[in-house]
Structure 1
Amino acid sequence: MSRRISGFKPTGPLQLGNYVGAIRPVVRGQHEQPTVAFIADLHALTVQHDPALVQALSREVAGLLLATGIDPGHALLYRQSDVAAHLELHYLLECVTSYGEAHRMIQFKEKGGGGGSRLSLLTYPVLMAADILLHDIEEVPVGNDQRQHVELTRDLAERFNERYGPTFTVPRAVHPAVAARIADLAEPGRKMGKTNASTAGVLFLLDPPDVLRRKVMRAVTDTGTEVVYEPQQRPGVANLLDILGALTDRDPRAVAGDFQGMGYGRLKTAVADAVIATLEPIQGRYRALTDEDIETVLADGAERAAEHADRTVRRARIALGLTGGRRAPAGSPATPVTAGRPR
């Protein structure tokens, strides 16, 4: 059975687009295949950041993952920086990565990579490769914006295996069923994001119900009054239909048919009701969690993650000709493990 992995970067509060596009698929798939879900706090250090905020957001993201339904009994949930193997394998993989490969990564250029950028911004795709290869992942669910990073991971794994012997499972990118691309309610031409400059059109998972309703009711629509699903001509209305369709598991075109002759006001009210009905239970479960509850889950997850990750690093060390290092647990495999529940 194929393993899958998802990382959640604590660079801002989680929002509805994160839930629909990334979190909900993990929740729904965790009982069907071994799943690794981790808080990618090391990735949050590639740009200027507030250390206290990164720590607080890491705990908040972990709590929300639990509140949305990620079950530590089925999915391995931990904080990346709590497992040292991520950093060790990152360096070992840099030793088989060329500067040109790292430099041509699209996101490095999009984020203003240049002489004043942190070196970690250039090399974080190699850390991402380490995240994946540590757990012998076969399938990495990604959108088009991350496909290049999975291709780099494949290249590094194949190169390492060819030069130093079979060490890593070579992953493949998989494209889940297309999820709604939730846009900013105030600017439907751009994606809803947790780090958008303005939060007026962003539905954060912890926004109070009255705030959620106000944001939806103020959503930018389009000229005209007819509710039809035309993403190019009427992106504002299409976005509202995408949200309602995603939260009710219906095609947005079919949803539009429910509002014939009703106008945008009724559509906005229905969207606000659906958003609140989805998020209120999550918020209640989140509030019931204590910091101790969250840290206990993360500590247990890190301990289990380290068992498998340390074996992977030991394989890589031996293949490279390094000796010593952490002792591998009894029964450590000499070749990649490609099946079974993540430990």
Structure 2
Amino acid sequence: MSGSNPTNRIFSGVQPTGGLHLGNYLGAIRNWVRLQKDYECIFCVVDMHAITVWQDPVALRKATHEVAAAYIACGIDPEENILFHQSANPNHAELAWIFNCVARMGWLNRMTQFKDKAGKNRENASTGLFVYPNLMAADILAYKATHVPVGEDQKQHLELTRDIATKFNNDFGAEDFFPLPEPVIQKEAARIMSLRDGAKKMSKSDPSEYSRLIMTDGPDEIAQKLRKAKTDPEPLPSEMDGLEDRPEARNLVSIYAALQDIDDATALSRVAGKQFKDFKEELTDVAVTKLGPIGDEMKRLMAAPDHIEAILHKGGERAREISEPILRDVYDIVGFVGR
């Protein structure tokens, strides 16, 4: 992988905040594995984003290993792609500072994720949390990535990245220096909701462990969590319309479908008329079959942290080989003396 003007380079990453769950796998990582065939891929463990909220250093290091292990266990090849942790490449932080001086306060004030994460106590939020969309733009543009896999909650940040690239190019008369990255929106991307509340997205921050399937859960844990998953007393319908006002039932059908890589309607046709007790047993079998090998491989990899760190270190070197010439050009364009 080389060259500073690619036509099909992807950048994407996950924060190492612990407890990767089913939604992370079905909504993101599984799709990235498929993208390897068609794109040059740079996959990052975004540890610098993680510390916008305080992290325990020991836990952060472990979670970084966990995310890297998940990437590999799910099928991302660290030889064919670049896999590294964000802090291994200082070019991200350097470019982010320049983008802090390009982006406008008004743009950042409109970021809905900051409002959601900071909550009512915005004055007590870190400045890093406020400006982290600029770091996200630097993550992407440090490699002149042309495409970014995004979910609905990241579209606004990608638009900001495009705005920053446009303004930089215009401000410094550097026409087309930074590309305007395009979103890669997976068809029928799985939207996985909480097992305890079908109206809430599955999240590692949910206080209930029974709200989510963790990627390292064993068969007993998967079975227990699915048995306790919230449902309703009615059997499963034969048509999708019958799930319209049944969010928990719809969520379990969606999980069943996504794990088998089929659409929801096809999945429902296979289980129509079943009571939830029987359906949950079938769903458990599918989940254990699909997730079990991934969890086992993650545990094996995490038991060898030196091996994971060697992969990340090598990936960091390969990442810098791409970004360093781009940063040299940026310094020259901005008017800094040498590099």
TM-score (norm 1): 0.91
In 1, the alpha carbon distance for the partners of 2:17 and 2:300 equals 23
Greater CA drift, 134-143 or 76-85? 134-143
In 2, the alpha carbon distance for the partners of 1:49 and 1:261 equals 47
1:324 match: 338
1:188 match: 198
Summarize deviations over 1:38-82 as a string: whole Å, max 9, x none: 000000111122121111101111011111111012221100001
1:54 match: 60
Query: Aligned with 1:188: secondary structure?
Result: coil
Could you list the structure 1 runs, at least 4 aligned residues long, displaced by more than 6 angstroms after superposition.
none
1:334 match: none
Report if the CA contact (8 A) 1:227-1:264 is conserved. no
**Structure 1 segment 90-239 matched on structure 2, within 5 A:** 90-112=96-118, 114-164=122-172, 165-166=174-175, 167-228=177-238, 229=240, 230-239=242-251
Change in 2 beyond 3 A, CA 1:321/1:19: same
Instruction: Give 1:247 shift.
Output: 0.9
Match of 1:251 among 263, 268, 272: 263
Report if the CA contact (8 A) 1:227-1:263 is conserved. no
In structure 2, stretches of 5+ residues that fail to align are 1-6
Q: CA RMSD in A?
A: 1.4
In 1, the alpha carbon distance for the partners of 2:100 and 2:280 equals 50
In 2, the alpha carbon distance for the partners of 1:142 and 1:281 equals 26
Summarize deviations over 1:76-125 as a string: whole Å, max 9, x none: 11000010000000001111111221222111111126211100011000
Letter of the 2:230 partner, please give it.
V
Summarize deviations over 1:107-145 as a string: whole Å, max 9, x none: 111112621110001100000000010111111121221
Query: Aligned with 1:46: secondary structure?
Result: coil
Query: Aligned with 2:215: secondary structure?
Result: coil
| 1:85 equivalenced with 2:94 (yes/no) | no
| 1:308 equivalenced with 2:313 (yes/no) | no
Summarize deviations over 1:279-304 as a string: whole Å, max 9, x none: 11112222332111111110110000
1:339 match: none
Query: Aligned with 1:203: secondary structure?
Result: coil
2:21 match: 15
Summarize deviations over 1:195-234 as a string: whole Å, max 9, x none: 2121112100011210111101111112312345444311
Query: Aligned with 2:51: secondary structure?
Result: helix
1:263 match: 275
Letter of the 1:38 partner, please give it.
C
Instruction: Give 1:24 shift.
Output: 0.3
2:298 match: 286
Instruction: Give 1:270 shift.
Output: 1.2
In 2, the alpha carbon distance for the partners of 1:173 and 1:287 equals 32
1:63 match: 69
Change in 2 beyond 3 A, CA 1:231/1:73: farther
In 2, the alpha carbon distance for the partners of 1:48 and 1:232 equals 40
Match of 2:310 among 265, 271, 296: 296
Report if the CA contact (8 A) 2:237-2:243 is conserved. no
Query: Aligned with 1:31: secondary structure?
Result: coil
In 1, the alpha carbon distance for the partners of 2:234 and 2:27 equals 30
Greater CA drift, 166-175 or 182-191? 166-175
Residue correspondences, number = 325
Q: Percent identity?
A: 38
Report if the CA contact (8 A) 2:198-2:248 is conserved. yes
Change in 2 beyond 3 A, CA 1:260/1:160: closer
Letter of the 2:251 partner, please give it.
N
Instruction: Give 1:175 shift.
Output: 1.8
Report if the CA contact (8 A) 2:14-2:44 is conserved. yes
Match of 2:35 among 15, 18, 29: 29
Query: Aligned with 2:12: secondary structure?
Result: strand
In 1, the alpha carbon distance for the partners of 2:226 and 2:237 equals 16
Query: Aligned with 1:258: secondary structure?
Result: helix
Report if the CA contact (8 A) 1:9-1:43 is conserved. yes
In 2, the alpha carbon distance for the partners of 1:287 and 1:226 equals 36
